[in-house]
Structures are given as structure tokens and as C-alpha cells.
Amino acid sequence: MRPSEAAGSILITGAASGIGAACALSAAEQGHALVLGDLDADALAKAAEACEAAGAAGVVRAALDVRDSGQIAALVDAGEKAFGQVDRAITSAGVDRGEPAHEMGEEIWDLVLDINLKGTFLTCREVIGRLVAADRPGSVVCVSSIAAVAGIDGAAAYCASKGGVSAMVRSLGVEYAPRGIRVNAIAPGATETPLMWANVDEAESAAVRQEVDEVIPIGRLAQPREQAQAALWLLSEQASYVTGSVLTADGGVTATMVLPA
């Protein structure tokens, strides 16, 4: 994506850390104007400073709970005021709370689904709705996961939420293609982010890392910037004929079948 392609700005949720922060920094290095949101206001301020230093055309930021449609609308308002249009978005806000399904309280299920799935929907609805009203093209990339298609022990809520994201992206891609609005997703595998280690005891992290590395054909976890490059490609005009797609970036994990000896 080149700055000359950016008629407006890019909204990124979950922009303070992990894949969202990597997307913001990579887009800043390409000279784009950014509208950043994250629940962690302090970390978001640091991420915004890094983007400004990296060459962003401008940065607007605000603390954001993606479960609150009013906060999403206010952030998009700020982006439109600063840059004229929010015509692209990357929805990266997400959480994971791992528990055995039979022990999982409803509050955990609701939290994960509300942030990962409902929050993604609300963000898409806000951005797409304004593009439709303005009769403008645009592009949205949602962050799903290989958990959308693979069972993970103790992650029923997370898997369900990401399965919903991937299904929603396919539907939105079809629904808004005639309007010139593309909607896609990336499905990252194991990536070096805080979310990757959210449910792992620090004492076990080295053993878990080795175990994960051994089952990835490429032999290592992804770096957040590698996922960001996939997302930015989908967002760009380089992917102008791609919509309703989920791009898997997992080092070959889901292409692998392991059978008993």
C-alpha cells in the first residue's frame, strides 16, 4: 500500500499491542494517517508516539472499548474530523480466557464473545455504514485466528468467537462487494504477542514455546509484523479482487495432518 492510495485514514482497534500495534507501526512507516483505539490508554499513547516517529501522516487516538458502539462512533468522528474520511479499518481488539468448558462461567463466555465477535461486528458496522452513506469504496480487515477452524483445548469461547469472525467476514464480503467495499480477514497462527501467552504460566513458557515451535512446519512463532504485512496487503489495492476471504498465516500448521504411527 502506498500513501498515494490513502484518500482517507485507517482505523485500527487493539492498536496498543500485539498484531494491532504492528499493523499501526507498519502503516505509519508507509505514511498513512491513522485512527487508533485500545482499552489500554497508556500503552496506546506510546504506540501512537511510535507511529508518529515512524512517519505517519497523522495520528488520532482514543481509549476504546469495542463493546461500546458509542465509543466506536466517537473515534470514527474524530478520524473524519482530522482526515476527512475513515475508509479502511483493521479490527484487532481481542481477548482470550482459557478454561475447561464445563468450568467456564457465563461471564467468561460473554466477555470473550462480546469483545472478539460483537466488538468486531460493531466496528465493521460503523465503518461500513459511513462508507455506504457517503457512497465511497473502502476496505476492512478483521483479525480472526486458526482457532476458527481448529479445536484448541480449553479455548471453547475463543474458538467460537473467531469462528464467528471468519463466518461474518465471508458474509460481509458478499454483501458489500457491489458497493466497492471489500471485507477480508487474516487468520494468524501462533504469534509472539501478549495474547499468545495470556493463559500460560511463566514457569511453563519455555516448554510451551518449544512444543509450539516443534509443530509449526516453519519451525517458529510468527512475529507480529509478519501478520501486519498480511493484513495491510489485504487492506490495499494490491488485493483489489479479494473479498470475503480469510488469509491463513500460520507457518503451515493447518495444512498439516498428523496421523498415529
- Assess contact for 112 and 95: CB atoms under 8 A: yes
Please, what's the b/e burial string for 51-65 (b: 16 or more CB within 10 A of its CB; e: otherwise)? beebebbebbbbebb
Helix (H, G, I), strand (E, B) or coil at 127: helix
* For helices 18-29 and 41-54, angle between their N-to-C axes, nearest 10 degrees: 20
User: From the centroid of its chain, how far is CA 123?
Assistant: 11
C-alpha cell, 167:
463466518
Distance CA 39, CA 119 (A): 12
- Tell me the three state secondary structure of residue 173: helix
Strands 86-91 and 246-249: unpaired
Residues serving a catalytic function are: 158
- Return the ∠ at Cα 159 (arms to 11 and 19), rounded to 5°: 35
CB 117 within 8 A of CB 165: yes
